Amino acid sequence: MEGFERESILLSDGKTALSLYHYITLDSTNAEAKRRGAAECAVILSDGQTAGRGRLGRDFYSEGGIYLSVILPAKGLLLSPMLLTSAAAVAVCRALEGAGLDGRIKWVNDILLDGRKLCGILAEAVSTGDGITGYVIGIGVNIGSTELPKELSDIATAVFLSEEGKRELAYEIVRRLMETIEMSPEDILAYCTAKSTVLGRRVRFFGAKNGVGLAVGLSPEGGLIVEADGGETVILTGGEISLRPE
Ligand code: BTN
């Protein structure tokens, strides 16, 4: 796919610059990132997506917001891949804090603002014949330059930002992500715990296991620990949860 401008993001160390490929439109920034392979650390950013993807094979509404994917080669990645989604959630919340916004993490890949979804995260592995060569961290943030479709407006929200503010937030998310993947797993999980909108609440869980219970903590791998009704303690590592259990 052609039609990008090459930009450069200076990271928080003030020395390292990451290449950013800025498109007006793409099918999906994650798809483009995967087509490029994971030879170098880089960012794909697009103003819109025609086939934005969410978790569990869902579509992701992709008009007017921030759509970006960070490519992380496996070589040199210190953080466990299991914690990449949590690290991205931390990065988004820290970037939002800088803009005066209190994002909350809905395990494992949603960021909520005032109880509604502002941002979704989709981490995917990049594989070749040689196995996994890297990871793509896709992040989509709803920005309110256009109205959300009716079917989304009850569950999703958007922030209002100028074009300049939007670009700054996108760059800040990338900077924060590159910082966060260097943090210790303990610090990442402590931040996720502090910013969780799930812990201490009853949830319904779907996936490999189904049920209802109290979310009580995060496992060292970023799984959600639930004391299920009936007494079993379940560690969720995939699937999804609902905050409306009944
Ligand atoms: C979800 O809500 O289930 C995850 C949504 C992830 C959306 C982002 S937008 C940028 C990147 N490209 C995609 O196609 N998806 C991710």
Confidence (pTM): 0.95
Residue 147 has pLDDT above 70, yes or no: no
What mean pLDDT do residues 77-84 have?
A: 97
Q: How far away, in angstroms, is 125 Cα from ligand 1 center?
A: 14
Task: Please count the other Cβ atoms lying within 10 Å of the Cβ belonging to residue 112.
Answer: 20
Atom of ligand 1 nearest to the CA of 117: 2
Mean pLDDT for the stretch of residues 84-93: 98
The pairing of strands 63-73 and 131-141 is: antiparallel
- 140 alpha carbon – ligand 1 mean position (Å): 5
Q: Whose CA is nearest to atom 2 of ligand 1?
A: 120
Pocket probe for ligand 1: among 85, 122, 137, 152, the residue whose CB has the most ligand atoms within 8 Å is 122
Q: Using 50, 70 and 90 to split pLDDT, how confident is the model at 152?
A: confident
CA distance 239 to 218: 15
Average pLDDT over residues 115-128: 95
Pick the atom of ligand 1 nearest to 140's CA. 9
State how far the Cα of 141 lies from the Cα of 144, in Å rounded to an integer.
Answer: 10
* Mean pLDDT value of segment 55-63: 93
Candidates 140, 125, 121, 142; CA nearest to 192 is 121
Q: How far apart are CA 118 and CA 98, in angstroms?
A: 16
Rounded to an integer, what distance in angstroms lies between the CA atom of residue 169 and that of residue 155? 22
Average pLDDT, the chain: 94
Nearest CA to ligand 1 atom 1: 54
Give the pLDDT confidence score for residue 160 in this predicted structure.
Answer: 85
Ligand 1: distance of its center to the CA of 196 in Å?
Answer: 20
Q: What is the pLDDT of residue 1?
A: 47
What integer pLDDT is reported at residue 146 of this predicted model?
58
- Average confidence (pLDDT) over 213-239: 97
Predicted pLDDT of residue 156: 85
**The dihedral sign for the CA sequence 185, 188, 190, 193:** negative
Average pLDDT of span 16-38: 96
Between 26 and 161, where is the model more confident? 26
**Alpha-carbon gap, residue 52 to 29, rounded angstroms:** 8
C-beta of residue 163 within 8 angstroms of C-beta of residue 112: no
- In this prediction, residue 159 carries a pLDDT of 86
| Residue 243 scores a pLDDT above 80 | yes
Among 4-8, 56-60, 152-156, name the one with the lowest average pLDDT: 152-156
191 CA to centre of ligand 1 in angstroms: 22
Note the pLDDT of residue 2.
61
Question: Which residue's CA is minimally distant from atom 11 of ligand 1?
Answer: 138
pLDDT at res. 128? 86
pLDDT band at residue 145 using 50, 70 and 90 as cut-offs: low
Which amino acids bring their CB within 6 angstroms of ligand 1?
28-30, 49, 52-55, 58, 60, 67-69, 109, 120-122, 138-140
pLDDT for 144 equals 83
Q: Which protein residue has the closest C-alpha to ligand 1 atom 7? A: 140
